[in-house]
Structure 1
Amino acid sequence: MMKELGYRQSQGDHTLFIKHSAAGRVTALLVYVDDIIVTGNDEQGKVELKKKLVKEFEIKELGRLRYFLGIEVAYSTQGIFISQQKYVSDLLTETGKIGCKPVSTPIDPNHKLGEAKEEPVVDKRMYQRLVGRLIYLAHTRPDIAYSVSVISQFMHDPREPHLQAAYRVLHYLKGSPGKGILFKRSKDLVLEAYTDADYAGSVVDRRSTTGYCTFLGGNLVTWRSKKQNVVARSSAESEFRAIAQGLCELLWLKIILDDLRVNLDGPMKLYSDNKSAINIAHNLYTA
């Protein structure tokens, strides 16, 4: 139906539909199952789209975006702030941790979580549900991304140390339930990424973990912490793989921005703190 109305499906995100008017304005629709966001700077285009949707479907307009799939949206003169405070409160209540003692970090900085086969088994379904909810919470909480990526590696056979690590994330959230992300108004649109990696950090298979985050106009827009697919033979290799992942993320964001016809201020930038990996990236014969 959207294509019949002149909308084009984004190649970077197939749930995003975009229509550009002759005046250079844009209307966008983002859909997740039966929840829809309509946005853009073409007021007439948004009105026409809503009329078409009402004719085709039984929908209810909720007005300005305030709450979407557990994500709370607040507006100020500085910009837009998103958080999941109610989601955190409900999660703490459901798990019986609403009165727990807060901790300052979501995971022990010197943790050595392994398979722990000698430790007691915990309820697998309960553990998977808890970790699944934490994974969703990481959509607005980059500060728990690494810890959640660690505990999610043991969902097939969770043991007591894994559950305690998951509970530590809850204790951390108790002390910071309202944290979120502020998207500030910015005149400069520079797209940049920062990448990093540990080396052979996993005690299970000695694979390294990639971490990256991207900024658009100084605002954090995407981030990830994920164990690499293969074992790196050196720290330079693990860092280079992180650079490659960061570059893929930049290219994906560039596709989305091109679909929206957003022009960047200058070239995309990617930062790494490993000189060897940077040298490899600069060498066209080895990269």
Structure 2
Amino acid sequence: MVWTLLAIAAKRDWVVHCLDVNNAFLHGDDLQKIQEMKEHLDKRFSLKDLGKLNFASYRVNDDVALADATRYKQILGQLQYLTITRLDIACAVNLLSQLAASPEHVHMVAAEIILHYLKCTPGQGIVLASKGSLELEA
């Protein structure tokens, strides 16, 4: 659903704002109303305003296939395992997994960006203790 909305927004050059309330997107021409909505949501939830959403444009045929995809597939397998506790990377890892049959250099770069993100955000995952309660706590 979100990917469809973003694809339409990119195609129509809509200005879309991304708020990290586990991803809320606001769209509209009235920037004052958007600002008011962000302030209203921030009072109820602790928002992290990511600002105006920028779309990366990349042509699929502009890249070369990886000569040896072994390392890419190893990294991808490790990332897939991490999605059990790091739900924040699940969407990106899933997308890269769909491209694993014929990975290109840009896909390896994307995997390395995810690794860099993980390195910069330790402690963001879900802790699953071997003993104790099975209840999740915020």
Higher relative strand content: 1
Structure with bigger gyration radius: 1
Give TM-score scaled by structure 1 length: 0.25
Give TM-score scaled by structure 2 length: 0.48
Higher relative helix content: 2
* Greater length-normalized contact order (CA 8 Å, ≥ 6 residues apart): 2
